[in-house]
Amino acid sequence: MSRDRSIRRGQALAGWTFVSPTLVVLGLFLAVPVAMALWVSFTDWNGRGSPFASGIGFVGADNYRELVGEQGGLTRSDFMTSLRNNFFYVLLVVPLQTAFALFLALVLNQRLLKAVGFFRTAFYFPSVVSSVAISLVFLFLFSGTGVVNSMLDAIGIDGPTWFNDSRGLFHLLGDGLGLWSTADPPSALTGSGVLGLTWWQWISGPSVALSVIIMLVVWTTAGTFMLMFLAALQDLPVEVEEAARIDGAGAWGVFRNVTLPHLRPTMLLVTTLGLIGTWQVFDQVYVMTQGGPGKSTLTPAYLSYSYAFDNQKWGIAAAMAFVLFLIIFAMTSFQRFLFRDRDAIATKRAEKRTKKAHANAPAGGAS
């Protein structure tokens, strides 16, 4: 017994020895900075000197109250505007990039398609190009005299000044359908609101400028997610699809009843990564718009950067980062709840009930 215990102790020691370098690196460059940022979010540190110096004031939850409380003023208004912009950004980017990536994977998974390697490289190429470089290309394409407006002008459409247009797409859609006038919005929507913004501002939708960033991100991220879907599709046994067709299922029936259930774990991975990435969007905003025009492309990540490096309000900037973390954590947890495997959960519950019933059953024996 003592020999077995000694062997297990030696194996555990060897395991901890191998993983200790990784733990040290993660501790120094992840855990410690996160703990320091959490401390900064409760102080009025201005970025000069050490945040642990004796002269740094501890303000408690004042930084967080300035973001969501009534006394927040302009800070709360800017933060809520950034959350609104980012919400519409997530609402459009995640479904579009997921659907586009799945479509590309289904196309490349066709057995009769030739030059699959070429198309796979071509579709994936935008994902490996620098986001700054692609952002600069889109600035050129969507400028007032750029290629996009020239093509629109050729078919008789007067294109907008994309990066100077802060109008919301939902406002423009409602105006086009005759629901309201953007020049004279309904007083019921402009006279009241919540968290520093009127209802009219909340329902604006993504701005024209933000729509360009949405198109850019969908195009550049779909390639990575395409490879994930393609790997999952190639793992699907051909016999299962053939059996479904023999049973009379058409192309849509096979996709809905065979392919999609098989892709559930990959779909969860893709949407989770997309959700996390879209809430953290920064580089495209920094290069292309810097939050403008009229704060219509402002995002929490860029606003946090601006408050820290431009305004020297590191405490508020750190508080924004942790509020954003809580939002991402809550949304990803809810997403995992939606994508949970109900059959597996039901099976586990049935097994637990069976074990419990056997444990509570009276022991058999001779009377």
Rounded Cα distance, 190 and 182, in Å = 11
Residue 193: how many other CB atoms lie within 10 Å: 14
For residues 322 and 328, give the distance between their C-alpha atoms in angstroms, rounded to a whole number.
10
CATH topology of domain 74-168+205-364: MetI-like fold (1.10.3720)
Domain locations along the chain:
1-39, 74-168+205-364
pLDDT > 90 fraction of the chain, expressed in percent and rounded: 52
Q: Please give the Cα distance from 291 to 136 (Å, whole number).
A: 16
Quote the tokens at residue 9. Answer: 């102790």
- 43 pLDDT above the threshold of 90: yes
- On average, the pLDDT of the chain sits at 88
Tokens of 320: 């924004």
pLDDT at residue number 171 = 93
Q: What percent of the chain has pLDDT over 70?
A: 96
pLDDT at 304 over 60: yes
Alpha helices in the chain (DSSP H): 2-26, 32-40, 62-68, 74-108, 116-128, 131-141, 147-154, 169-176, 187-190, 199-202, 208-234, 238-246, 251-254, 260-262, 264-279, 283-288, 300-305, 314-338, 342-360
pLDDT by residue (tens digit) across 254-268?
Answer: 888 888 888 999 999
Handedness of CA 68, 72, 75, 78 (dihedral sign): positive
The predicted-structure confidence for 52-67, as pLDDT tens digits, reads as follows 888 888 998 999 999 9
Classify strands 193-194 and 197-198 as parallel, antiparallel or unpaired.
antiparallel
